[in-house]
Amino acid sequence: MSGQQSGRGGTGEIFRTLAADDPTTVAGYRLAAKLGAGGMGKVYLSYTPGGRPVAIKLIRPEFGEDAEFRRRFAQEVRSAQRVQGLFTAPVIDADPEGAQPWLATAYVPGPSLADAVVAHGALPVETVLLLVAGMAEALHVIHGAGIVHRDLKPSNVLLASDGPRVIDFGIAHAADATSLTGSGVTIGTPSFMAPEQAAGRKVTPATDIFALGQVAAYAATGVPAFGEGTSHGVLYRIVHEEPDLTAVPERLSELVTRCLAKDPEARPTLAEVIRLCQEANAATVLRRPEDWLPGAVSAEITARAAAPAPAQTPPPPTTAPTAGHPPTALSGPPAPAAGYAPTAPGAAYAPTAPATPAPPTAPPGAYGPPAGQQPPPQAGPYGPPPQHGAPVHAGPVHGGPVHAYPPVQGPAPTPYPYPGGPGRQQPAASQGRGGRAILVAVAAVLAFGLVGGLTAYSLLKDKGQETTSNGDNANGGKQNGGGGGTTPTTGGTAPSTKPSAGTDPKPADYKGINLTAGYHLTLGDESVRPQDGEDGGYELSYDTGGYLDAESAGGSLVLLDPGQQGSLAVCRAETRFTQEVYVNKLATGRQVCVTTGSGHLGLVTVRGISPEDSPSTYLTLDVTVWRNAATSS
């Protein structure tokens, strides 16, 4: 089960300002914005004490008045906390017993599938295959926890940069227990129900397979497989008629048709669903690229990543918070304990413990009261750090919540030596002396320093060539003008053989190179272009054996980690050298550092891999070259 929904209507409505009837806190979580609303309740953005964004789903009060709903809701929360799949949003906190039940899940910065299709149209086939394969993996974990989703639909699938996230699993089961579903409150979307669900028969994991087929058809065509219209008309077609799949691409036809079988026993298993995705396009499914979504959808992910922090709250009361579960603030200013200690009865993981105030280092502006207004610290999982003499310093993180960093342990540092000798402190001016005496003393000190400096310079000026080649003196200080150097100067700098920091070569960029197997690149060429040949001491070649090869004497490659951003400094520092990098280890966005025997450094970024139906085998690469930049051995 999850509780996250995304807003509709474009990025301008992603984070909606809290209205007068919205709460400012929920069980201590300070709310930053409204993310959406549905038949079960409203969804808000908040933060954990560590500054991680979370989605808070506040259940409608009408459901909270139903004892059977609360019982089932608590059961589904316990089951959901066992779901830890890569393609689900984990439940991290909840309170089924609160005045209004609520739950918190990890915030996913991505639009829902429904929003993406409405705003940008149907998705490409390759994207749909990756989408369905990820959803199948999510359902495998959900079903393994004993949960049937029951409400799998486009608005319950979020599109993240690394794949889909299935949310709200199991919550419809709790809603089935309340009489509200028969009095105007609709839970579940008719267009994505299974025949047995629409007819009121037994619901099984195969019910989710039917919904998976409907979601796939919707993603590929932009319309539901059984059409739109009144709920009764749609449900009738689901039970008695066949879906309209004329617009479904051929590569998806078998997958969607088998999932939409009327008989639950005739539908494929989740393992078969993944196999069908692999057969339709194995290269895409087996290698999940970072740009699996169209560019317009990816842009929305960037917009949603800039989550706003909550507004500051009024100072807390002067009296200490009372023990027990802090009450949920539904309107107006927060309750005494609000902002300090969200609780999670029976939760597998909760950011706080019952009646435990957050530490004084809770991120100001994101969770808890402003800095300097915290209640007295108490013991608990988030108890305060050991006291130190130095204050706590806070640092902003990308415009989001400000994270506090613990003070440095140990005694206070010795003040920086005052001129005249190590460890000396700046002398305080004597209160009994007049201005003339002070001026005389200062003049004497300056004269002594000038004479001593000139003397030292005259003694050492002939020894400038004896300094070490790296510019370090005997005490480890730099003599090129850097801090820590002790060589006196008189209007100039001490001799140094260390090059300045601005001598790094400028990068030369070559975009969109299609390097065919059997060809090579020479990074020293003014125009880096593929040349025929894969053997013969080349600097970088694409061997027909399926790998990139560094053959030149002294040449090497380093495959950077996924997500690691390459640069001149990174390529100079990396030492995980190899001569070959096989293409099956590469994916779109992966980077390789190249060092040539002639002293050049290169950064290769994979932008594409030739499809299986291409008449040639090639890699599309962006290449950045820093000539004569390799570190000398």
Burial (CB count within 10 angstroms: exposed 0-12, middle 13-18, buried 19+), residue 484: exposed
Alpha-carbon distance of 531 to 510, in angstroms, equals 15
**151 part of the active site:** yes
Taking a C-beta distance cutoff of 8 angstroms, is the pair 285, 278 a contact? yes
Which one of the listed residues 93, 95, 151, 543 is annotated catalytic?
151
Residue from 352, 355, 315, 351 nearest 333 by CA: 315
Q: Within 10 Å of residue 160's Cβ, how many Cβ atoms?
A: 18
Residue from 131, 174, 134 nearest 150 by CA: 174
Taking a C-beta distance cutoff of 8 angstroms, is the pair 558, 525 a contact? no
Q: Within 10 Å of residue 97's Cβ, how many Cβ atoms?
A: 14
Longest dimension (CA), the chain: 107
Alpha-carbon distance of 510 to 279, in angstroms, equals 35
User: DSSP 3-state assignment of 35?
Assistant: strand
DSSP 247-282: TS-HHHHHHHHHHT-SSGGGSPPHHHHHHHHHHH-H
Tokens of 361: 């280092």
Task: Residue count of the chain, please give it.
Answer: 633
Which own/partner pairs from 239-244 qualify as long-range (CB within 8 Å, at least 24 positions apart)? Answer: 239/195, 239/198, 239/199, 243/214, 243/217
- What CA dihedral angle connects 526, 530, 533 and 539, to 10 degrees? 50
Residues 6+ apart with CB under 8 A from 67: none
Taking a C-beta distance cutoff of 8 angstroms, is the pair 383, 377 a contact? yes
CA distances from 149 to 7, 102, 152, 264, 289 (A): 22, 18, 6, 15, 28
Tokens of 62: 């009408």
The region that residue 135 occupies, defined by phi over 0 for left and psi between -120 and 50 for alpha, beta otherwise, is alpha
Taking a C-beta distance cutoff of 8 angstroms, is the pair 542, 588 a contact? no
Known catalytic residues? 151
